[in-house]
Amino acid sequence: MTRVNAVFLVAFVGVLIWITLFQPEAVAKIQRGAMVALRPLVKGSGAIESAVADLGTTPPSYEELRERLAEAELERDRLRLEVVQLDELLSENNELRRALQYLEKSPLSLAPARVISRRPAQWYNTAIIDKGSDDGVAVDSPVIVPLGDEAALVGKVSDVLGPRSAVVLLLTDEKCQVSAKLENSPEQGILSGPRGALGTQPELKLRYLSKDAVAPGGTRVFSSGAGELFPAKLLLGEILTLTPGVIDAEATVAPALNFDDLRDVFVILPPDPADEPAALPRAVPAGGADEGDASAPKPARNQGESDAGEGEALPPNPIQRP
């Protein structure tokens, strides 16, 4: 080795030592550059190694592949079923939360019930629930579904089959008629289902509105309580269209509930006679004759009074001064 080569070698080694000791950033850059340059070689060697390792193994047969595919499909179906069950539990939990929220604020006496039977031919007409006479359910008892702070009307009990079952006439039936009013409006009418509802959930009809009624789409419809059968402020649906006529107007209403998915409902029980105030004792006339005594003379009847004992009593004529 000549003196010049020895000098260059000593200088190169000195530069390397100086860079290593006093320039760590430069060393890091050199290392990164070397890794980038050698990366293809590392990947290629790894692929070659795996290929050589696979040369001694036997590939899976067709039957094994079929078994693996069947296992994967079973696992997929199981996971799908779990997702469906979780969705159902979440939906039921939300319904129970809304029901509890309504029950805590409602002054009504409510009995929870579940729909246990529906006939396909009368799908939008009737449903059978698992509550009956033993639970205080009576004919004409309204049936509702709580929706948070509000409740939507399902229908009314049309027949009590026994101690643990009753028939509910649904709101989508033509014979279930409800006195209804528009939200934030004095307009009132009679709401009922259409005639012969089959196939898909029917739209409701709100009749006998005034011919000048105004009801934009989306206006909510509630029970008015005028008929004294259904409590006021039960949600019935939303206005779809309004058709004015010569004498009155008629609206098409979308039901507030999905009547294809009725499951948990609440029956509004009639008031308990024990909770009603006791009747005041009758005053006995001065002559000692009771009203029930047939021998007692009966007072003359005013001109407005009716002979029909079961109908609504007409208001008596005003007292005329002599």
Task: Mark whether 142 and 248 lie in a shared domain.
Answer: yes
The Cα 266–Cα 144 span in angstroms is 5
Classify residue 43 by its DSSP letter.
Answer: H
Burial (CB count within 10 angstroms: exposed 0-12, middle 13-18, buried 19+), residue 205: middle
The Cα 193–Cα 190 span in angstroms is 10
**Confidence category of residue 101, pLDDT binned at 50, 70, 90:** confident
- φ and ψ of 227, to 5 deg: -80, -10
- Report if residue 70 sits inside a domain: no
- Report if residue 158 sits inside a domain: yes
**CB burial readout 241-251, b (16+ within 10 A) else e:** ebeeeeeebbb
User: How far is the first Cα of the chain from the last one, in angstroms, to the nearest whole number?
Assistant: 154
- Report if residue 216 sits inside a domain: yes
Task: Mark whether 17 and 134 lie in a shared domain.
Answer: no
Task: Mark whether 142 and 38 lie in a shared domain.
Answer: no
Residue 299 has pLDDT above 50, yes or no: no
Residue 292 has pLDDT above 90, yes or no: no
Task: Mark whether 38 and 154 lie in a shared domain.
Answer: no
**Confidence category of residue 271, pLDDT binned at 50, 70, 90:** confident
Highest-confidence segment of 121-135, 284-298, 301-315: 121-135
Task: Mark whether 167 and 266 lie in a shared domain.
Answer: yes
Q: What is the CATH number of the domain that holds 230?
A: 2.40.10.350
Give me the pLDDT at residue 181, please. Answer: 95
Give me the pLDDT at residue 68, please. Answer: 87
Task: Mark whether 124 and 264 lie in a shared domain.
Answer: yes
Task: Mark whether 14 and 141 lie in a shared domain.
Answer: no
- Report if residue 282 sits inside a domain: no
Task: Mark whether 28 and 137 lie in a shared domain.
Answer: no
Residue 310 has pLDDT above 60, yes or no: no
Mean pLDDT of 163-191: 94
Domains contained in the chain, number = 2
- Report if residue 251 sits inside a domain: yes
Task: Mark whether 14 and 134 lie in a shared domain.
Answer: no
Give the domain range for residue 35: 7-49
- Report if residue 20 sits inside a domain: yes
**Which among 246, 272, 298 is the end of a domain?**
272
Task: Mark whether 187 and 258 lie in a shared domain.
Answer: yes
**Which among 272, 293, 314 is the end of a domain?**
272
- Report if residue 285 sits inside a domain: no
Describe the crossing of helices 3-22 and 24-54 by its angle, rounded to 10 degrees: 90
pTM: 0.60
Mean pLDDT of 267-289: 62
Task: Mark whether 137 and 27 lie in a shared domain.
Answer: no
**Confidence category of residue 185, pLDDT binned at 50, 70, 90:** very high
- Report if residue 298 sits inside a domain: no
Task: Mark whether 33 and 125 lie in a shared domain.
Answer: no
